[in-house]
Chains A and B, each alone.
Chain A
Amino acid sequence: MPFLLLLKKIKEVISLDIKNNKYYKLWFKDPITYVMGAVLLSIFQIVTFAVTGNPWGVTGSLANWGAWILELFGGSVDSWSYFSTKSAQATLKSGFLNDPGSIRNLGVIFGALFSTLMASQFKIKKIKSKKQVIAAILGGFLMGYGARLAYGCNIGAFYSGISSLSLSGWVFGIALFIGAFLGSKLLVKYFM
């Protein structure tokens, strides 16, 4: 008798209607609010700063990715003053899998993938027009170049910069806003 009850319990657990499970919906299916996102991002920013001694940054590693790809094609950045510091050289020599920043960026991609899959909302969105191709190329390039000049992006220069009590963060933020205004005009005129 108790054995049959146990079997019944196991069957119940296996046929858990996960899609209607309260905690699945709360933590995996439904989106969370922007403010909740802000709080959670802040927690992990502070955790990052406490453990690594530096805030979150994204674009520093992307220049390294460029350098490694250039090296794949036979080029070299060793003569560039940007990569001439000891630490830059050490990072380049030890490669992608040993670069913390690169690992973190890869993690962002996988974290987003995990989140989307658990919500059963993953879909490959193919490029649909030439306008999108030009927008991606131009936009990506401008971001990459601009982030080098400003020592960072919306995360490193803006979010982390301001939170670190650096005036540069605010100046960059105002510039971002101006750029976003100009970009919106271009978007509506040429890329819609």
Chain B
Amino acid sequence: MSEINSTETSASSRRSSRASSNSRRKPKKNQIPLGIGIFLFIALFGIYLSTKSNLLAFFWVTGNAFGFILQKSRFCFTASMRDPLLTGSTSLTRAVMVALAITTLGFTAIKYGAHINGLPIPGQGYIVPISFATIFGGIIFGIGMVIAGGCASGTLMRVGEGFQMQVLSLAFFVIGSLVGAHNFDWWHKMFISKGQSVFLPDIFGWAGAVVVQLLIIASVYILADKWENKKTNEAN
């Protein structure tokens, strides 16, 4: 048996330690057949739903689309708010601004189209009163989403990815929703009923509202970009 004298350089030691972890690895399973199986289920369930109502099938399809897109892009609203402060990164913050800008344009087009044709404006149920409840609710939601490692959409996405922690988070999300619904009457009497709903076109006009909103979004984008550059330079 011959002994090999090895003078370990950093490169070879790196290679050898990774080679040893390579041999410990189990062979990777190919999950694509499972993926195709799940796709078949998604398609069949969609067809089943369409026998009840096409609208239900539509909600199923768009839900799957949202889930697919969120997972594929690793999109995370929680990170968009948390990372600027925790890690100095604002790439998701800026991506959220892009989403807000594009969606604003699309929604406004639809709303304005209805308006100038004398039709009722869709989606106005989302113009909700602003009160202490909005602020308090937002703050505790913000705390919750960072601690739980995911917001509402992120939690659903991570359940699909196999995270047990988010299954637990979802369970208590449901419980919290029920308790919130139970207490909603109190909040409504104390705060929400005294709040004001503000639809921006009522203040700025349709074009004005879009311009103002896009300007704010652009400003946040620029701020976020400069913030990340500042934090990167500080670290280096």
Q: Do A and B bind each other?
A: yes
Residues of A within 8 A of B (CB): 18-19, 28, 31-59, 62-63, 65-67, 69-70, 77, 80-83, 97-98, 100-101, 103-127, 132-133, 135-168, 170-184, 186-188, 191
**Looking at the complex, which one of B28, B130, B141 makes contact with A143 (CB distance below 8 Å)?**
B141
Contacts of B155 in A (CB 8 A): 140, 143
Contacts of A19 in B (CB 8 A): 30
Closest to B76 in A: A34
Contacts of B108 in A (CB 8 A): 165
Segment of B2-10, B13-21, B172-180, B228-236 in the binding face: B172-180
Known A138-B144, A144-B174, A181-B85: A42·B102 in contact at CB below 8 Å: yes
Closest to B30 in A: A120
> A138, B147: Cβ atoms under 8 Å?
yes
Known A49-B122, A62-B174, A82-B184: A139·B67 in contact at CB below 8 Å: no
**Looking at the complex, which one of A82, A119, A161, A175 makes contact with B181 (CB distance below 8 Å)?**
A82
Interface residues on B, range: 35 or more
- For residue A23, give the distance in angstroms from its CB to the closest CB of chain B: 13
> B100, A159: Cβ atoms under 8 Å?
yes
- For residue A45, give the distance in angstroms from its CB to the closest CB of chain B: 5
Q: Besides A39-B98, A123-B162, 16 other CB < 8 A contacts?
A: A46-B110, A50-B110, A63-B181, A67-B181, A98-B56, A110-B41, A112-B156, A113-B38, A117-B34, A140-B173, A144-B180, A145-B179, A166-B199, A168-B128, A180-B145, A187-B147
Contacts of A119 in B (CB 8 A): 31
Closest to B95 in A: A34
A182 CA to B146 CA in the complex, in Å?
9
> B106, A124: Cβ atoms under 8 Å?
no
A77 CA to B104 CA in the complex, in Å?
36
**Looking at the complex, which one of A34, A46, A70, A170 makes contact with B103 (CB distance below 8 Å)?**
A46
- For residue A113, give the distance in angstroms from its CB to the closest CB of chain B: 4
A162 CA to B80 CA in the complex, in Å?
16
List the 10 shortest-distance A-B pairs measured between CB atoms, nearest first: A179-B142, A107-B63, A144-B176, A111-B67, A175-B138, A139-B148, A37-B73, A148-B180, A66-B178, A183-B146
Contacts of A144 in B (CB 8 A): 172-180
A184 CA to B158 CA in the complex, in Å?
20
A124 CA to B156 CA in the complex, in Å?
15
Contacts of B125 in A (CB 8 A): 54
